[in-house]
Amino acid sequence: MFYLLITILLNVIISAIFKVFPKYRIDMLQAIVANYVVCVITGCIFIGHIPFTASIIHETWFPWALLMGFGFISIFNLLGYSTRVDGITTTIIANKLSLVIPVIFSVFLYGDSMGVAKIIGIVLAFPAVYLTTRVMGDDNKPQSLLWPILLFIGGGLLDTLMKYVQFHFLTSPDSQAVYSILCFATAGVIGIVLVTILLLLKKTTFQWRNVFAGICIGIPNYFSIYFLIRMLNNSFLQSSAAIPVLNIGILVASALTAILLFREKANVLRITGLILSVVAILLIAFGDK
């Protein structure tokens, strides 16, 4: 239970930090790059050594780690931007409901069962995302669906890729740990190159507050993955139920945080979408039971 609760808390903290970035004029890209550097340092400390050796390029999962690193920084930037523009609740629901995509791929790639209840859950996921994003902005016009939809698709494809790599290539805890660090490192290198180009072109300026913001994200970001792994290795919940239960917890906790702390709008459409989200995840998770 502890691992489940702490993972939920860390995910909500990350979203809340993103939400306050505009108030302190934080550069999103610089903060996210610093975040990945912190993740790599923290990971190396945890495994007790630096895993970057010449032989690592010969690992079968090496090219997948590079691709995953690119996906990491893309989705994390999208997550941050969507949180700032569309709010915590909308962003978290769009991100967490993206689990329908790896569920669909699992049917074709791994022969997972697809019962009526699970199909209903997948169908319900789409109106759930729509309803939670159709809230009025300050100009009384519906907010754009673009960023939540991109987050929904991108997050789902990234989860699908992660499952594919783990299923085919990552057979030991050591390889899983090193793979995660390399993904973070790849994302960090890509980010550093982008920031350097922007600095040279004088499109942005370096500020130490962005580094501090990245540290604030990086520490909970790393430990959210660490405690997620611990939760999956714990007997409190079966692995097939752990992720959906975690997602439901994050959805509810994020919604409460957004409404109580950030005063986000809680109209009938958003509440209906939140309810449909919980129902959809439950049906997808337990539909074959």
Least confident of 177-186, 215-224, 244-253, 274-283: 244-253
Q: What is the pLDDT of residue 141?
A: 53
143 pLDDT above the threshold of 70:
no
Q: What is the pLDDT of residue 208?
A: 92
How much is the CA Rg of the chain, to the nearest whole Å?
19
Kindly compute the dihedral angle of the four CA atoms of residues 183, 187, 189, 192, in this order, to the nearest 10 degrees.
-160
Residue 278 C-beta-side C-alpha neighbours within 13 Å: 14
Q: What is the pLDDT of residue 277?
A: 78
Name which residue leads in pLDDT, 266 or 17: 17
As a whole number, mean pLDDT of residues 94-117 equals 73
For the chain, report the end-to-end CA distance as a whole number of angstroms: 22
Q: What is the pLDDT of residue 232?
A: 64
What is the distance between the alpha carbons of residues 106 and 102, in angstroms, rounded to a whole number?
6
Where on the phi/psi map is residue 112: left (φ > 0), alpha (ψ -120 to 50), or beta? beta
Percentage, residues of the chain above pLDDT 70: 82
Smallest CA-to-CA distance from 29 within 162, 283, 213 is with 213
Domain that holds residue 13: 2-286
Number of domains in the chain: 1
Query: Any idea what the Cα angle at residue 270 is, between residues 78 and 137, rounded to 5°?
Result: 65
Biggest CA-to-CA distance, the chain:
57
Smallest CA-to-CA distance from 269 within 157, 127, 68, 149 is with 127
pLDDT band, very low/low/confident/very high, at 192 (cuts 50, 70, 90): very high
Where on the phi/psi map is residue 280: left (φ > 0), alpha (ψ -120 to 50), or beta? alpha
Length of the chain: 289
